[in-house]
Amino acid sequence: MAANWKMNKLVREAEDYVARLLPQISDAREVDVAIFAPFTCLHAIARMTQDAPVLVGAQDFYYEDFGAFTGEVSAPMLKDVGAGAVIVGHSERREIFGETNEMVARKTTKAVSAGLLPIVCVGEIKEERDAGRMWEKVGAQVRAVFEYLDAGEIGGDALVFAYEPVWAIGTGEVASPEDAQDAIGKIRGLLGDLVGEGFAEEVRILYGGSIKADNIGEIMAQKDVDGGLVGGASLEADSFAKLVNGAKAVVE
Ligand code: PGA
């Protein structure tokens, strides 16, 4: 279960959140928990979670290690402050900041080689879904990753995919459990073709888009859905703790 704070929280707020979250999820060891925080909060929360089963990650990075890339942050820099994971290709980066499939593929490849777990986001916009072109878009986004990433060299635990239909992000309009399963099942099938059955079985694929405590159970119950990437409902520690414990109930 992954929290995506987006551009929210000052350092003090992040610390208060983690202090409040940890005791509430201490019985949910079966669930892998990750927090994707702004760069400015990473150091503080990585320290606080050193001995806790919580993975701390960034929401983006650049695929070169250092150099004249004003404003960017590299994989070694993220690791230096204790991050172990990074979101790659979130739809807000694709739509607002113009990230292309190629950039997403380069970032994914770099994260894997640097030992950061990438959460690679894919998803269609409303017009594409309405036109029956969900899979055309999402399938192409998944394929593009493997134009750079040498899949022969990695196991299914080297990366995570997140299917996030753009029309469901921050809108309150959650995908139906069947739609989530349909897209995620297709992604897993494609990974089987592109990389191999063992990889496809092992790789984790999350759903994201308006996850709340009252819909997490039925989404997580779908065969191919391994977890959730949560924006709005992850911003309060109590609310995110409910989702982690809700996922625990499904896993059990
Ligand atoms: P949301 O965001 O839960 O607020 O819809 C999900 C995401 O963007 O990862």
pLDDT digits (tens, 9 = 90+) for 74-94: 999 999 999 999 999 999 999
| pLDDT in the model for residue 66 | 98
Q: Whose CA is nearest to atom 3 of ligand 1?
A: 231
Q: Which two tokens stand for residue 218?
A: 């039925």
Average of per-residue pLDDT values in the chain: 96
Q: Work out which ligand 1 atom sits closest to the CA atom of 162.
A: 9
What is the distance in A from the centroid of ligand 1 to the CA of 136?
22
**Nearest of 103, 193, 114, 196 to residue 158 by alpha carbon:** 114
Q: pTM of the entire structure?
A: 0.97
> What's the pLDDT tens digit per position in 128-140?
999 999 999 999 9
Q: Which two tokens stand for residue 32?
A: 């892998």
Looking at residues 220-236, what average pLDDT do you find? 97
Q: Which two tokens stand for residue 97?
A: 């900041």
> What's the pLDDT tens digit per position in 7-48?
999 999 999 999 999 999 999 999 999 999 999 999 999 999
Q: Is the pLDDT of residue 149 over 90?
A: yes
Give phi and psi for 152, each to the nearest 5: -65, -20
Task: Give the position of tokens 């070169």.
Answer: 64
DSSP-H helix ranges across 125-176: 126-130, 134-145
| pLDDT in the model for residue 151 | 84
| pLDDT in the model for residue 251 | 81
What is the distance in A from the centroid of ligand 1 to the CA of 153?
31
| pLDDT in the model for residue 252 | 80
Q: What is the C-alpha to C-alpha distance for residues 143 and 223, in angstroms, rounded to an integer?
A: 22
